């Protein structure tokens, strides 16, 4: 009768090193927990930890809310954390360009962008990259922009999204399994669609199959709120309304809406966001419109808190160390 070691030898015979099965004590130390890649927003990381390296993130919203920007921000963070590895992005939208990447701080010398819309080709290529140990992230922008060749061959009367959904549903478990073992986060961008048959509720749906609802372990939904203007009234960004719709790593309330300032020239402002964290942690005490620092200073209004922290960087860095 075969023992467990015989079974393991048989199962591992044709497997790559990164895919081998073994007793947990013989697996790498980070086998169960490979950590996170930052979203580039300190406050969003504070609320959700970031993009799990053993999971799949879904970023949703209507058009022009900065969904692709969040993907580029994650790419920048992956490049900083793993400079010897390369992010891969499937740009079905065709919206990613050199100026856009430069503004978001992406290193264009260490990045693969694939401009492809045919879903079968995209999934084949994604599966190949999912087996590479030196890939740091795989992104899809966006799910709805890729089309199946089988659906393409149908007439308008025959067309349905069923073929596309089935291909995503069949291949993504394989791709994600490869990625999870290698610590490669998958980030999906998807845009809401109006459900013409909805009579109640908000009437928005995510097309492309139920896999998009169940497979991600982290889902953040973005809305566009007020515009941010400079002293000359020029638009320099907008306020994001953010809801964490799903997270397997932190406690969350899907109805809880918080706001982030997003700036078109660079993304998120570190001091702005840490100010919110310090207030929530009680490092800066709020009483009405006044804010009290533990060094004896007090200011009125949150904007004054941000200004004080920018003018006192050493004190700002001390407060940051208290979070770890």
Please report the pLDDT score of residue 33 as a whole number.
87
- Other CB atoms within a 10 A radius of the CB of residue 250 amount to 11
Please report the pLDDT score of residue 324 as a whole number.
76
Specify whether the CB–CB gap between 161 and 212 falls below 8 A. Answer: no
Specify whether the CB–CB gap between 137 and 82 falls below 8 A. Answer: no
Residue located via tokens 């402002």:
269
Confidence bin at 250 (pLDDT 50/70/90): very high
Specify whether the CB–CB gap between 122 and 90 falls below 8 A. Answer: yes
End-to-end Cα separation, the chain, in angstroms: 52
Identify the residue with better confidence: 197 or 268.
Answer: 268
Residue located via tokens 């907008």:
238
Of 39, 45, 76, nearest to 59 by C-alpha is 39
Tokens of 40: 């580039």
Q: Is the pLDDT of residue 168 over 70?
A: yes
Supply φ then ψ for residue 167, to 5 degrees: -70, -45
What number is the average pLDDT over the span 58-80? Answer: 97
Specify whether the CB–CB gap between 127 and 139 falls below 8 A. Answer: no
Which neighbouring-strand residues pair with 305? Answer: none
Confidence bin at 98 (pLDDT 50/70/90): very high
Across 23-32, 84-93, 186-195, 196-205, least confident range: 196-205
Q: How many Å is the Cα radius of gyration of the chain?
A: 22
Residue located via tokens 């992104």:
139
CA dihedral sign, ordered 137, 36, 243, 164: positive
């Amino acid at each position: 009768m075969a023992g467990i070691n015989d079974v393991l030898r048989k199962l591992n015979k044709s497997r790559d090193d990164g895919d081998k099965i073994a007793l947990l004590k013989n697996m790498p130390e980070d086998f169960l927990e490979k950590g996170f890649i930052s979203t580039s927003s300190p406050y969003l990381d504070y609320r959700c930890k970031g993009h799990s390296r053993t999971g799949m993130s879904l970023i949703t919203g209507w058009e022009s809310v900065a969904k692709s920007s969040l993907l580029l921000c994650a790419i920048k963070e992956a490049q900083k954390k793993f400079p010897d590895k390369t992010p891969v992005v499937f740009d079905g939208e065709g919206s990613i360009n050199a100026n856009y990447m430069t503004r978001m701080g992406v290193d264009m010398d260490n990045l693969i962008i694939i401009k492809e819309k045919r879903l079968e080709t995209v999934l084949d290529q994604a599966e190949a990259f999912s087996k590479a140990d030196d890939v740091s992230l795989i992104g899809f922008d966006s799910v709805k922009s890729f089309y199946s060749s089988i659906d393409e061959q149908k007439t308008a009367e025959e067309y349905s999204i069923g073929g596309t959904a089935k291909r995503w549903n069949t291949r993504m478990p394989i791709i994600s399994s490869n990625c999870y073992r290698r610590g490669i986060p998958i980030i999906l961008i998807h845009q809401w669609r109006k459900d013409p048959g909805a009579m109640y509720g908000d009437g928005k749906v995510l097309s492309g199959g139920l896999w998009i609802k169940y497979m991600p372990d982290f889902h953040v939904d973005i809305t566009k709120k007020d515009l941010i203007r400079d002293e000359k009234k020029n638009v320099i960004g907008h306020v994001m309304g953010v809801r964490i719709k799903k997270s397997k790593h932190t406690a969350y309330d899907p109805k809880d809406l918080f706001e982030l300032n997003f700036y078109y020239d660079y993304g998120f402002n570190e001091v702005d966001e840490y100010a919110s964290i310090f207030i929530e942690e009680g490092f800066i005490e709020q009483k009405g419109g006044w804010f009290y620092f533990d060094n004896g200073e007090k200011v009125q209004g949150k904007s004054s808190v941000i200004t004080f922290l920018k003018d006192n960087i050493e004190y700002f860095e001390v407060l940051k160390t208290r979070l770890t």
